[in-house]
Structure 1
Amino acid sequence: MASSDYSARHLSVLEGLEAVRKRPGMYIGSTDSRGLMHCLWEIIDNSVDEALGGSGDEIAVELHPDGSVTVRDKARGIPVDIEPKTGLSGVEVVFTKLHAGGKFGGGSYAASGGLHGVGASVVNALSERLDVEVDRDGKTWAMSFHRGEPGIFADTDGPNPASPFTPFVSNSELRIVGKVAKGVTGTRIRYWADPQIFTKGATFQTEELFSRARQTAFLVPGLGIDITDARGEETTVESFRFAGGISEFADFLSTDAPLTDTWRMQGSGTFTETVPVLQPTGAMVPTELTRDCEVDIALRWGTGYDTTFRSFVNIISTPKGGTHQAGFEAGLMKFLRAQVELNARRLKVGNDKLEKDDILAGLTAVLTVRLPEPQFEGQTKEILGTPAVRNIVATVIAKEMAARFSSSKRDDKAQSSLVLDKIVSEMKSRISARAHKETQRRKNALESSSLPAKLVDCRSNDVANSELMIVEGDSALGTAKLARDSEYQALLPIRGKILNVQKASVSDMLSNAECASIIQVIGAGSGRSFDIEQARYGKVIIMSDADVDGAHIRTLLLTLFFRYMRPMIEAGRVFAAVPPLHRVIVMNPGSKPNETIYTYSEKELDGVLAGLKRSGKKYQDPIQRYKGLGEMDADQLSETTMDRRFRTLRRVTVKDAASAEEASRVFELLMGNEVAPRKEFIIAGEGLNRARIDT
């Protein structure tokens, strides 16, 4: 824009939004895909707030091939009348003024999420183009913005952020672009994220969007959220709507067998706080206000040891917790410690004290609090900071747990007893594991070792460079001893198929010789006591045969690592070796030595043989087909599977929390007690997709 065209109007519109563009991380956390998703949820959350207030029960989100996104709702629609203080339409105020909107003063929203009233304007400031249409008063009103500034795009072939843009200079125009039936209301927002702000490669994450939409649908019963991703060759559509509430959410999140029913606990409390309130004169006056805080909790204990906890403030996720989560944990800890002391003789606890991890083992819980104008630590709202919420939540959980434990109902009595037994068992396991772990440190040459006799250890004490190779059977062990580099490669043989720990209890797992040997050799404990810093090897490599039994053994071992040594997988320190299936010997004429080619699939073998025939080369027939690692000699095993220069390894890892949840469901589906879902999975053909299994 030429300097001569720069007016006071532009200054008033852009003075706040320029700060957002200069330091976007203060408002959306980052400028990568995570920040891009944060912007999208700011827009969606505005529609969710409307649904929470009883206006509209449908939200539609569409990801377009050109990188833009549209969010539609059928709520009240953004106000289109003139706001008296600014002289601007409600639409322009919402999208250009920071800290403006209906979320202040307790008028329109008793409890809401979003960026404290700056969400829509922040997204607008960080968008190359934003178009908004509002259905209200029998008309469709529209306005467009370029990097936060209102104006007109001269589109010739559909909306495009590159179209010529003319900003408003003196007065804004909220255009009327259509008519709607009387009573029809709603808002449609489409925006293109600004490439000047967001890093190259930042994209909307479909799976994250699905997960968050599902979560929101659980938290707002009856709200329907439709997601359409039209960016790929095939359009993906997912719809979410749940009639229940957080009890269903807790059931959905839990992956282990239930120890208790899902317990629903609700309560409320009040507190006072002094906040600056904007007066009609424009002055900010400190005012003491009484706030109501509603608490809703759904929890259940399962037979596993993993903790799944989700906390929300006005349905906005707080992944890093805050005062509400601290109150939940403190109230639960205080109550259960008192219960254990009352039942100390029956539980045989002695002088040992419960810790937080003992109580949270196997717990799945969803905690929601609703209060007006919550205080967050940081603009991205990941941590609740309102101090008074801690005591309110602690009081509610303690009161509701006391009612459950003192209930005369048979089920409540039985389940309460099971909870006490479980947490005391976890405490004893923790204490025992801590003592056991102290004896499992790597021994030096002057110390005695209690490691299994069948372990063929390496000489190096350099953990980062060392490898533990778990081999299948003694025959493979014999060959691997000759093929390994004894400086940094250790070998541990296992006999056949180990215990399926997805179905077995912790005690059964620990009493299984093969499982116990693996845990003992790695030396970092198991379950909640696992400490990856104490692991004796930098890599764990599963070397199983390239057949169905080998794949089953590999799956059983991965189940053991995922359930009891998950940090090894999360750190990317667990690998699967890729041994060859075939050995092709190409016969060269004369004195030239024969050439050896290894192939790893039937398709690759067919391609190699076809290539040899085309080039007129001969090969030894029949082709050697390896049924197991024990059929290779030491040189072949070293060259194909163990030598770092030539081998191929597949890293087994979990990228993030969402991936871990999905992995838990897959392990439960494939290895758990429930046969029917596994049968359906196989019949549907998913379980027979060899490419998925091998990768």
Structure 2
Amino acid sequence: MTALTAAVNEPEEYSARHLSVLEGLEAVRKRPGMYIGSTDSRGLTHCMWEIIDNAVDEALGGFCTRIDVLLHTDGSVEVRDNGRGIPVDAEPKSGMSGVELVMTKLHAGGKFGTGSYTASGGLHGVGASVVNALSARLDVEVDRQGHTHAMSFKRGIPGRFAAGGPDAEFTSRSGLDEVRRVAKKVTGTRIRFWADRQIFLKDADITRESLLDRARQTAFLIPGLTISVRDERVEGGPPYEEEFRFDGGIGEFCSFLAPDEQLNDVLRIQGTGHFTETVPVLDDQGHMTPSDVERKLEVDVALRWGTGYETTVRSFVNVIATPKGGTHMTGFERALVRVINDQLRTTKLLKTNDDPVTKEDVLEGLSAVVTVRLPEPQFEGQTKEILGTSAASRIVSSVVGKELRTFLTSTKRVEKQQARAVLEKVVNAAKARLAARQQRETQRRKNALESSALPAKLVDCRSEGLDRSELFIVEGDSALGTAKLARDSEFQALLPIRGKILNVQKSSVADMLKNAECAAILQVIGAGSGRTFDLEAARYGRVILMADADVDGAHIRTLLLTLFYRYMRPMLEAGRVFAAVPPLHRIELTNVRKKRGAKPEDRYIYTYSDAELQRKLLELEKKGMGWKEPIQRYKGLGEMDADQLAETTMDPRVRTLRRIRVEHAEEVAKVFDLLMGNEVAPRREFILQGAKELDMARIDT
């Protein structure tokens, strides 16, 4: 008891000597996630773009026309540009060269005042120095003032390496070297860095696809800028090279992003606004004094509506992507909703008592690129994913609202027709949303006792347990009769569908809900649809698609899977959707009865493809077994009797099921868009390509 009392009454000593001060770049190496988000592939890619963005800022100011990005085989990344070059003269206060200053000091750069850059992506002066701190080696070469100036760093410390690579002998030394002479008009910067594997995870890597996507995006945002990407990491082949240059700007970018057929031509909205901001300014005595600064904000927006239902909106501040939006996106969306609601009331497409359309209605089918340019924007964090400058919301809303109203009220014949088509699409989206909400409200039920609300054609099971219950979606009423006799009524339910359901990939929510077969499936599963789908509310543990083993059956399965993917995706993600595998042939053996102990069912062998049939016949021939000709080929489930259907397709003890999974969401989305979407040309190309590989003997004639 005495020892315990002493421990409680004598607190641990805590004094100033316990405090630590991290000098220079030590803070970056101690807490890298604060500066680059993470130390995995995402953080490594962020480092690369910190260097590229410095070159992009030169292009944004009109001083750079070409940027080259190289991914070397040794894992290093090199960025070259033909901009003005990092200053090589000595900075008066520190005595360091400009190169060493920006590479070793946090918050050092040319983007804090108004003299070097009017708009830039880099803001905090930490990008290059952070990359330097997190690199095992970083080399800088600057062409400026008739010479090539060079220096290297090891984990942020300036010096010289004896040879190539981060493991070469290193000597710590400050200052720049003049390595060769160049023409006085030649300027530019080359930076190559090797990521420090003491900081980054071993498997951290830069993916070519992400680099190409953002390089293409940047080239769209700065018309006339050429960005070249060279990946030398290709094994056993030549390096991969691709170059981007777009003179059409964000109007061309908007058309590139749009996935569907357009309702209106790309609408380009441009304008400017001014606001006053109180910021600390460095005076002549070196003091930071709060001052009111007049700012100019430039707005450039490209948008168009299409016939589809997906929304594709990209936003940027000084060519830096803001994937989580910010004040500029708030102003953009507010202007769209306000102006379109006003115009719908004016044109009587919305009656007085109708609810106003919402942001979701307006954004349906919209493809847009929203960019703003301003000096020293306020971001939330170094990763710059959200714009926080409050004045941007007001200015963007004003510019977009004015220009959009001009388009919607235009008296020119073509623009008037396009504006009408846009307004009607928004109204239809609102109607579909309301219809979907009403459908969800009417279809929900709390438990299986409310079976009176279910479709009359549903043949339900007795069990309410999700672990055993199965819903068979059966093609056709003829197959339903056989399936009723073949099923186990304790846990197997049946829902027949008539032919091919609606292709929901090309239809609106309202059209889908009007389709009797689609509505019945949603109602029977009983878990809602779309964003409100609740997996735990699903009435069945498994959903099994049972269609004929022919081309039409495959099409029906594809249509059903499209419905599940668009409106009940959690069922697929949970692995609770299956495809039944009915047989294609039945072989009746002729000499089985003679064998002692043979059962009647042993007379039949089922095969599930033409290839399997041929293999099985060869096997039987080798064994000296005969069979009845002609071999029965099932044209549909309805040709089977109950025993055959049970023992091949429905009995859990002997059947085969294919589980449908969604493991790679982006690839799955591309497949559904290709096979079931609005674009005909890619589907035609897919069919023509597949036709060359098709075995003509497999086609039923």
Q: TM-score, normalised by structure 2?
A: 0.82
- Return closer, same or farther for 1:148/1:679 CA change in 2, 3 Å cut-off: same
- Return closer, same or farther for 1:570/1:548 CA change in 2, 3 Å cut-off: closer
Contact 1:576 1:652 in 2 (8 A): no
- Quote the residue 2:563 is aligned against: 560
Cα separation, 2, equivalents of 1:115 and 1:597: 73
Taking the TM superposition and a 5 Å limit, the aligned residue runs for 1:481-630 are 490-504=493-507, 506-526=509-529, 536=539, 540=543, 542-544=545-547, 547-562=550-565, 564-565=566-567, 567-568=569-570, 571=573, 575=577, 577=579, 579=581
1:629: how far off?
A: 6.9
Cα separation, 2, equivalents of 1:495 and 1:451: 17
- Quote the residue 2:250 is aligned against: 246
1:675: how far off?
A: 3.7
Cα separation, 2, equivalents of 1:86 and 1:483: 88
Cα separation, 1, equivalents of 2:109 and 2:567: 49
Does the alignment pair 1:449 with 2:461? no
Contact 2:457 2:496 in 1 (8 A): yes
1:477: how far off?
A: 5.5
Superimposed CA distance per residue, residues 400-437 of structure 1 (whole angstroms, 9 cap, x where no aligned partner): 12212232212222222223322222222222221221
Cα separation, 1, equivalents of 2:168 and 2:486: 66
- Return closer, same or farther for 1:483/1:109 CA change in 2, 3 Å cut-off: farther
Does the alignment pair 1:69 with 2:73? no
- Return closer, same or farther for 1:336/1:582 CA change in 2, 3 Å cut-off: closer
Cα separation, 2, equivalents of 1:279 and 1:538: 71
> Which runs of no fewer than 5 residues in structure 2 stay unpaired?
1-19, 696-701
1:395: how far off?
A: 0.9
Contact 1:471 1:542 in 2 (8 A): yes
1:383: how far off?
A: 0.8
Does the alignment pair 1:92 with 2:100? yes
1:591: how far off?
A: 8.6
- Quote the residue 2:270 is aligned against: 266
- Quote the residue 1:143 is aligned against: 151
User: Partner of 1:88: helix, strand, or coil?
Assistant: coil
Compare 385-394 and 427-436 and name the one that shifted more: 427-436
User: Partner of 1:401: helix, strand, or coil?
Assistant: helix
1:34: how far off?
A: 1.8
- Quote the residue 1:82 is aligned against: 90
- Return closer, same or farther for 1:648/1:435 CA change in 2, 3 Å cut-off: closer
- Return closer, same or farther for 1:339/1:128 CA change in 2, 3 Å cut-off: same
Cα separation, 1, equivalents of 2:509 and 2:76: 49
Contact 2:548 2:582 in 1 (8 A): no
Does the alignment pair 1:651 with 2:661? yes
- Quote the residue 1:3 is aligned against: none
Cα separation, 1, equivalents of 2:257 and 2:598: 63
Paired residues in the alignment total: 660
1:204 to 200, 206, 214: 206
Superimposed CA distance per residue, residues 261-311 of structure 1 (whole angstroms, 9 cap, x where no aligned partner): 221111111111111223344322212111111111111122233222111
1:223: how far off?
A: 1.9
Taking the TM superposition and a 5 Å limit, the aligned residue runs for 1:327-342 are 327-342=331-346
- Quote the residue 1:358 is aligned against: 361
Contact 2:67 2:82 in 1 (8 A): yes
Amino acid of the structure 2 residue aligned with 1:417? R
Amino acid of the structure 2 residue aligned with 1:110? T
Contact 2:123 2:376 in 1 (8 A): no
1:318: how far off?
A: 0.8
Taking the TM superposition and a 5 Å limit, the aligned residue runs for 1:37-116 are 37-114=45-122, 116=124
Cα separation, 2, equivalents of 1:529 and 1:430: 12
Compare 626-635 and 346-355 and name the one that shifted more: 626-635
- Return closer, same or farther for 1:354/1:499 CA change in 2, 3 Å cut-off: closer
Compare 443-452 and 297-306 and name the one that shifted more: 443-452
- State the percentage of identical aligned residues: 62
- Quote the residue 2:135 is aligned against: 127
Contact 1:59 1:74 in 2 (8 A): yes
Superimposed CA distance per residue, residues 355-402 of structure 1 (whole angstroms, 9 cap, x where no aligned partner): 221222222221111111111112211111111111111111111122
- Quote the residue 1:398 is aligned against: 401
- Return closer, same or farther for 1:208/1:471 CA change in 2, 3 Å cut-off: farther
- Quote the residue 2:39 is aligned against: 31
Contact 1:154 1:164 in 2 (8 A): yes
- Quote the residue 2:433 is aligned against: 430
2:675 to 665, 670, 674: 670
- Return closer, same or farther for 1:350/1:505 CA change in 2, 3 Å cut-off: same
- Quote the residue 1:325 is aligned against: 329
- Quote the residue 2:15 is aligned against: none
- Return closer, same or farther for 1:424/1:650 CA change in 2, 3 Å cut-off: closer
1:463: how far off?
A: 6.5
1:105: how far off?
A: 0.2
Superimposed CA distance per residue, residues 437-483 of structure 1 (whole angstroms, 9 cap, x where no aligned partner): 11111342443433223334455666698665544445665676688
Compare 277-286 and 321-330 and name the one that shifted more: 277-286
Cα separation, 1, equivalents of 2:597 and 2:167: 68
Amino acid of the structure 2 residue aligned with 1:406? T
Cα separation, 2, equivalents of 1:228 and 1:569: 42
- Quote the residue 1:195 is aligned against: 197
Cα separation, 2, equivalents of 1:548 and 1:106: 67
- Quote the residue 1:164 is aligned against: 169
- Return closer, same or farther for 1:292/1:551 CA change in 2, 3 Å cut-off: same
- Return closer, same or farther for 1:219/1:162 CA change in 2, 3 Å cut-off: same
- Return closer, same or farther for 1:530/1:314 CA change in 2, 3 Å cut-off: farther
Does the alignment pair 1:225 with 2:227? yes
Compare 134-143 and 366-375 and name the one that shifted more: 134-143
Q: TM-score, normalised by structure 1?
A: 0.82
Cα separation, 1, equivalents of 2:81 and 2:607: 55
- Quote the residue 2:421 is aligned against: 418
Amino acid of the structure 2 residue aligned with 1:99? H
User: Partner of 2:407: helix, strand, or coil?
Assistant: helix
Note the aligned Cα RMSD (angstroms): 4.0
Amino acid of the structure 2 residue aligned with 1:637? T
Cα separation, 1, equivalents of 2:691 and 2:23: 55
Amino acid of the structure 2 residue aligned with 1:203? D
> Which runs of no fewer than 5 residues in structure 1 stay unpaired?
1-10, 691-695
Superimposed CA distance per residue, residues 590-641 of structure 1 (whole angstroms, 9 cap, x where no aligned partner): 99999x999988899999999x99xx99999899998877766424435789
Amino acid of the structure 2 residue aligned with 1:651? R
Contact 2:260 2:678 in 1 (8 A): no
- Quote the residue 2:188 is aligned against: 186
Amino acid of the structure 1 residue aligned with 2:646? A
2:684 to 676, 679, 695: 679
Does the alignment pair 1:118 with 2:126? yes
- Return closer, same or farther for 1:232/1:591 CA change in 2, 3 Å cut-off: farther
2:304 to 276, 300, 303: 300
User: Partner of 1:442: helix, strand, or coil?
Assistant: coil
- Quote the residue 1:5 is aligned against: none
Cα separation, 2, equivalents of 1:162 and 1:627: 69
- Quote the residue 2:649 is aligned against: 637
Contact 1:466 1:537 in 2 (8 A): yes
Cα separation, 2, equivalents of 1:117 and 1:570: 47
User: Partner of 1:16: helix, strand, or coil?
Assistant: coil
1:40: how far off?
A: 1.7
- Quote the residue 2:5 is aligned against: none
